[in-house]
């Protein structure tokens, strides 16, 4: 086991996204996962049936005790629910030195369409967390909410990613899965230039938790010493196989096969 990742995110009772997906992804890639739970959801493959935010001070306390004892080689941020939690998380990260890569997945909307971030918290996320981020990993609706840039094609993605980069993160991975195309484009933008990762769309309903899984896989790579490009490339390959081998559970948007890297026990 190499690399320690502290995950700050919400819980998905269905196990396909959120903290549950994060722990599976980090573990499947050989790193150690610790957590600070920022919200609880009552959720399955058919949708989100309830959300309960955790007290901001208690979220920060979870981070504090883990970082002071176990430590972390990367921190991954997922669902934070509201502005108060975002501010507490950013403050605790800064208080602990802010000297490890921070992966920010700006979770706003569940696969079912349920809003997971209060609308008035979007600006707080942009101002408090993005300037601290090593990499931010929005999908297209999240990028549109953060930038007010309509995104319909790869050129729009470039414009939005450049604006996101101007908010302060070291890198932006803009995920193009919401484009109406059989070709998928994920755009990685840093101060040194861009990389366009291209692939074919997998036509399946079993994609619940792909964003959470991808960002945690990136965090694991950074914690293990990979550079940003290589961490993203490995994470994309891991997620692609997880989608292709999904177990087909539930009656809606089913979970991935997070543990496809794990060999059967004798």
Q: Packing angle between helix 210-223 and helix 18-28, nearest 10 degrees?
A: 40
Strand-by-strand arrangement of the 47-53 sheet: 47-53, 32-44, 4-12, 74-77, 102-104, 135-136, 171-175, 183-190, 193-200
DSSP class per residue in 3-61: -EEEEEEEEETTSSSHHHHHHHHHHHTT-EEEEEEEEEEEEETTEEEEEEEPPHHHHHH
Q: Which of 45, 147, 210, 228 is catalytic?
A: 210
- 210 catalytic per annotation: yes
- 18 catalytic per annotation: no
Q: Which of 35, 41, 137, 207 is catalytic?
A: 207
Q: Which of 14, 18, 78, 209 is catalytic?
A: 209
Helix (H) or strand (E) holding 74: strand 74-77
Q: Which of 211, 213, 228, 254 is catalytic?
A: 211
- 175 catalytic per annotation: yes
CA distances from 69 to 32, 34, 66 (A): 14, 11, 5
Q: Which of 76, 78, 212, 221 is catalytic?
A: 212
CA distances from 99 to 57, 93, 102 (A): 21, 9, 9
Q: Which of 14, 41, 175, 213 is catalytic?
A: 175
- 98 catalytic per annotation: no
- 212 catalytic per annotation: yes
Catalytic residue list: 175, 207, 209-212
């Amino acid at each position: 086991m190499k690399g320690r990742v502290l995950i700050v995110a919400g819980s998905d009772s269905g196990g396909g996204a959120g903290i549950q997906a994060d722990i599976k992804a980090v573990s499947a890639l050989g790193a150690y996962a610790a957590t600070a739970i920022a919200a609880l959801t009552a959720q399955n493959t058919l949708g989100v049936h309830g959300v309960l935010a955790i007290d901001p001070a208690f979220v920060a306390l979870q981070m504090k005790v883990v970082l002071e004892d176990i430590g972390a080689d990367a921190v991954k941020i997922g669902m934070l629910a509201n502005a108060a939690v975002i501010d507490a998380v950013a403050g605790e990260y800064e208080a602990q030195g802010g000297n490890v890569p921070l992966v920010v997945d700006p979770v706003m909307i569940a696969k079912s369409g349920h809003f997971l971030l209060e609308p008035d918290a979007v600006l707080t996320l942009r101002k408090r967390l993005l300037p601290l981020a090593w990499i931010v990993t929005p999908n297209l609706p999240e990028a549109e909410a953060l930038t007010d840039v309509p995104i319909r094609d790869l050129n729009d993605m470039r414009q939005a990613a450049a604006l996101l980069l101007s908010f302060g993160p070291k890198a932006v991975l803009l995920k193009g899965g919401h484009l109406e195309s059989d070709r998928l484009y994920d755009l990685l933008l840093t101060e040194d230039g861009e990389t366009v990762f291209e692939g074919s769309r997998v036509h399946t309903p079993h994609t619940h938790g792909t964003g959470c899984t991808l960002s945690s896989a990136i965090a694991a790579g950074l914690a293990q010493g990979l550079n940003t490009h290589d961490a993203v490339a490995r994470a994309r390959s891991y997620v692609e196989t997880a989608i292709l081998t999904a177990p087909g559970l539930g009656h809606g948007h089913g979970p991935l096969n997070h543990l496809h890297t794990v060999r059967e026990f004798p």
